[in-house]
Amino acid sequence: MNERYSRQVLFPGIGKEGQEKISRKHVLIIGAGALGSGNAEILARAGVGKITIVDRDYVEASNLQRQQLYTEEDVAEKLPKAAAAEKRLKAINSDVEVRAIIGDATPEMLEELVPDVNVMIDATDNFETRMGMNDAAQKYNVPWIYGACVGSFGMSFSIIPGNTPCLNCLLRTIPLQGMTCDTGGIISPTVQMVISHQTAEALKMLVEDWEAVRTSFVSFDLWRNQYSSMKMSKAKFAGCLSCGEERTYPYLDRDNMTKTTVLCGRDTVQIRPAKAGEISLEQLSAQLCSLGYKVKGNPYLLSVEMGGERMVIFQDGRALIHGTKDLTHAKTIYQRIMG
């Protein structure tokens, strides 16, 4: 057994056999922000065989306070978080296969990725994506770990298809929607606590110690010194469309996904093109420069400015329009620049 993991192997809950299992497993992390970067680093250091990380955003200065994989250089280069995370994770542990996907975790993407993974970790910032993850997990029988945090408050729950209530069931009992936006600020210890809960559960699942997996819903407030753990077995709902007796997986229907989204905690609107497909950033840059726009870019995205307005365009055609929460105004800017 690799000396690198010797201290982990000494832990009775993992041991040599558990470490070998970890090295053969595939973890999917949706979101490469605070929770995603922390989960990814711990699991990479633990020797997980393969990590796939999906994220739609790029690194900004405000991320550095709590998103541990990123540097000031990443901010200056406007690197997509997934690309920056892949680079850092490979430097941390070259034994781990890392795949970065720059884009939205759409129903089509989830249907493609989830059947091939052993555990999925929620590190996203919106419930539309979470509900898609939940349906994909139920459809393909993949366990996943919900996590969210804001301010000094955090929560986590392990979802095992066929055993525990799913996220759709929980929404009938616990008002989780308030946790989707970080407008109230965030302190890094809150992030680290949620990460600890998520990665501990992930390791239990990866070594297949299902009896050790926590089935209670955990929430805490580090600033007010509060911690609670609620049993959720009675929350399972037979009529649930995601995990019930007549399930239809409604959140895997692309028609139920919005094409425009206001990003949490930011004056930014994301617009997805009606048809997905790669665009030539080089050609688009030349075209926009000829029209008088100020354009900066890297192999992953272009930053376009004119008259105090700024839009970032990704290779998959998605765009982030900064400085507004007005969807109509954002669409106007998008159409003016993209044509």
- 8 Å CB contact between 71 and 77: no
DSSP string for 86-122? HHHHHHH-TTSEEEEEES---HHHHHHHGGG-SEEEE
- H/E segment holding residue 286: helix 281-290
User: Closest by alpha carbon to 218, among 151, 155, 163?
Assistant: 155
Catalytic residue among 181, 243, 264, 289: 181
The Cα 70–Cα 66 span in angstroms is: 9
Name the pairing type of β-strands 226-231 and 319-322: unpaired
Structure tokens at 88: 């850092």
The Cα 37–Cα 195 span in angstroms is: 9
Residue 317 backbone class (left: φ over 0; alpha: ψ -120 to 50; beta: rest): left
44 alpha carbon, distance to own chain's centre: 16
Name the pairing type of β-strands 268-271 and 294-298: unpaired
| Local structure of residue 213 (DSSP, 8 states) | S
- 8 Å CB contact between 217 and 157: yes
**Catalytic annotation on 181?**
yes
- Give the bridge partners for 268, in sequence order: 322
- 8 Å CB contact between 15 and 114: no
Phi, psi torsion values for 37, nearest 5 degrees? -65, -40
Angle, CA 225 vertex, CA 222 and CA 230 arms, to 5°: 90
- 8 Å CB contact between 38 and 31: no
The Cα 178–Cα 121 span in angstroms is: 20
Catalytic residues: 181
